[in-house]
């Protein structure tokens, strides 16, 4: 909810679900905003890692990198190499 603010007729912005909290004017909103950014960075970071792994997969398989395949087998074992982009 820290990203959803609504404007009131007096010109102030409050958080949509918590109308007693002012947006950008209180320390509580800043804390919620920072926690929200951290919480969003976890799945975005994981998806970025999966994208990178999918991009290097063909090269690593040509090299015969068994350690790579064993380490990330949870992504690659159940799919055909040509359909790996459907993992995303």
Measured in degrees and rounded to the nearest 5, phi and psi for residue 85 equal -70, -15
> What are the strands, taking DSSP E only, across the chain?
5-7, 13-15
Q: What are the pLDDT tens digits along the chain (88 aa)?
A: 556 888 888 888 888 887 777 887 777 778 888 888 899 999 999 999 999 998 999 999 999 999 998 999 888 888 777 777 777 7
Q: Which two tokens stand for residue 60?
A: 């690593």
What's the chain's length in residues?
A: 88
Question: Across the strands, what pairs with 21?
Answer: none
Q: What pLDDT is attached to residue 49?
A: 94
For the stretch 19-40, pLDDT in tens is 777 887 777 778 888 888 899 9
Q: What pLDDT is attached to residue 29?
A: 73
């Amino acid at each position: 909810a820290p990203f959803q603010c609504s404007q009131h007729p007096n010109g102030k912005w409050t958080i949509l679900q918590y109308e007693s909290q002012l947006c950008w004017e209180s320390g509580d909103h800043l804390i919620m905003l920072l926690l929200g950014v951290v919480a969003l960075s976890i799945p975005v970071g994981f998806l970025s890692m999966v994208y990178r792994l999918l991009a290097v997969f063909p090269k690593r398989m040509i090299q015969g990198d068994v350690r790579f395949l064993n380490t990330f087998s949870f992504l690659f074992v159940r799919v055909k190499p040509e359909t790996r982009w459907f993992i995303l």
